[in-house]
Structure 1
Amino acid sequence: MVISGINHLTFAVSDLEVSLDFYSNLLGLAAEVKWNNGAYLSGPGIWLCLTKGRPNPDQDYSHVAFSVESEQFTALQEKIVAAGFGTWQENTSEGDSLYFLDPDNHKLEIHCGNLSQRLDSLKQKPYAGLKWLNSTDSD
């Protein structure tokens, strides 16, 4: 396989300071560096770039989901909701999830669970038209 993982995520942000505060102080990513037009933050397995620009999130399902341990989910969910950031969808899948917006309306999610758990849940409650493409997953 040529692709070995996600290298980094970049979000266009309208106000660098507001977004830097959101991702570091609210979500807990480590602020690494900041320059006139951007900043880098990090977390376990995450490299996030914020770049000043004109955000224009589409009205589709595209979003970024961050993993959260189940013991920390409720506290972080309450913190995000209390900070007044809107939600964009209710959770209908396995595992705890909160679908929320950042200061520039980028669609984000915090989620407890992983792909194996999701695939196991699909064995019990498959999506309409679901077809298993990897024969080892359908066992």
Structure 2
Amino acid sequence: MTIDLQGVNHITLACSDLPKSIAFYRNVLGATLKAEWPRGAYFELGDLWLCLELAQNVTPRGDDTHIAFNCTESAFDYTADHIAESAQQWKENTSEGASLYFLDPDGHKLELHAGSLQSRLAHYEKMRPEGMRFFH
């Protein structure tokens, strides 16, 4: 038997106000609401299964941990402008590729990014930052 991880199955985020979070993910991020119950909701966002779960205490992280959503370069500016109208930014982009770093209603750190692992690695292989090693 071997380890057989194939990617992310789903992400669950705690929320303090379920209707407000449902509205954010549906109206601001364009997620498709698939099911809702008194303490939660399921969304589809591209290939992602996203779950919201009502919680009494939601504690945003103080570090750089975040979830990044993919976006095509051609749709990035429109999508970023749409999100920026409703969401607070938590960080400015200083990395390769277009990114918008924003918060959901409970302060979960999210990112809209146009790029891929391959484009990020190609960028750093050209720059060769000190101490960075590459594995092929």
Moved over 6 A (4+): none
Are positions 1:27 and 2:29 aligned together? Answer: yes
CA deviation after TM superposition for structure 1 residue 26, in Å: 0.7
SS at match of 1:23: helix
- Residue in 2 aligned with 1:68? 71
After the TM superposition, which residues 62-101 of structure 1 pair with which residues of structure 2 at under 5 Å, given as runs?
62-83=65-86, 85-101=87-103
Q: Distance in 1 between matches of 2:130 and 2:102?
A: 26
Q: Does the C-alpha gap of structure 1 residues 35 and 127 become closer, same or farther in structure 2, counting only changes over 3 Å?
A: farther
TM-score by length of 1: 0.91
- Residue in 2 aligned with 1:4? 6
Amino acid corresponding to residue 17 of structure 1 in structure 2: P
Amino acid corresponding to residue 82 of structure 1 in structure 2: E
Q: Does the C-alpha gap of structure 1 residues 127 and 59 become closer, same or farther in structure 2, counting only changes over 3 Å?
A: farther
- Residue in 2 aligned with 1:39? 41
SS at match of 1:72: helix
RMSD of aligned Cα (Å): 1.1
Q: Does the C-alpha gap of structure 1 residues 104 and 127 become closer, same or farther in structure 2, counting only changes over 3 Å?
A: farther
Q: Distance in 1 between matches of 2:30 and 2:130?
A: 37
Q: Distance in 1 between matches of 2:129 and 2:22?
A: 37
User: Which one of the candidate residues 112, 120, 123 is aligned to 2:122?
Assistant: 120
Q: 5+ residue gaps in structure 2?
A: none
